[in-house]
Structure 1
Amino acid sequence: MITSDYLGFLSSDNLQFNRPTSNSDNHYYQAIEITATLSGTYIFMSSSTFGIYGYFYENSFDPYYPNLNLIASNSDDGDNKQFRINFTLQFQRKYILVITSFGYNITGAFLIKATGSTPLLFTPINQITSE
């Protein structure tokens, strides 16, 4: 098995949204496009000092309609309020993994590990404020 890593950071420069399982739009998020070189099943896990939600979208992600194109999500199947998602990626399909926090206005570093038969490419989607 091959592990692909992505190190990211939620900051006050990130946009905020109302995650599908919340009633507040005070959650910073980072959207990451996931590219698979071959179809296969992967295990995605987060690691951070704060609780992390992971949301998988197919084709596109719209922060104003966070349930649109949502195909998988998790917040605590991993250790210490971290997500763990087992998911089959199809070659030549567009997937977006959205990372956000359990709490409001939380910032900090996070690590995503994806384990599967081939390496994955993680490409952050530029969604930051322009203040």
Structure 2
Amino acid sequence: MTVLVGYVDTAPGNAAFEAALAEAVRRGEPLLVLNSPQGGALVDKALVGDDRRAQLEQAAAAAGVPLELRQPTHHDDLPGAIAALADEVDASVVVIGIRRRSPVGKLFLGSDAQRVLLELDRPILAVKPRG
């Protein structure tokens, strides 16, 4: 089994990575980082570059956790991409970062995190950044 984390280099994404790494250590499982850029985008600021990839790999190595980073593109269905990968690797837990949102924003906008929480059929750990 594998710990799967949806990752973007933001405060919620980094909180999710830290929690996923701790969970991988606790479970004695490898860590799979999903960093999925929007398909068709010429530039995607969510895409992890070489420097950040090296930092993630170094943190995992220091914790004694094997790490794999995958960057498949998704087309307006990031929750579907997370679910498909979770099924492919039989993830024991999926870790996602969430951000603070107003009640009105929650009511009208929905979110990828909400879809992941409602649609995946496996344990999910949702993490907020401190502060």
TM-score (norm. length: structure 2): 0.29
Bigger strand share: 1
TM-score (norm. length: structure 1): 0.29
Bigger helix share: 2
User: With CA pairs under 8 Å and 6+ residues apart, which has the higher RCO, 1 or 2?
Assistant: 1
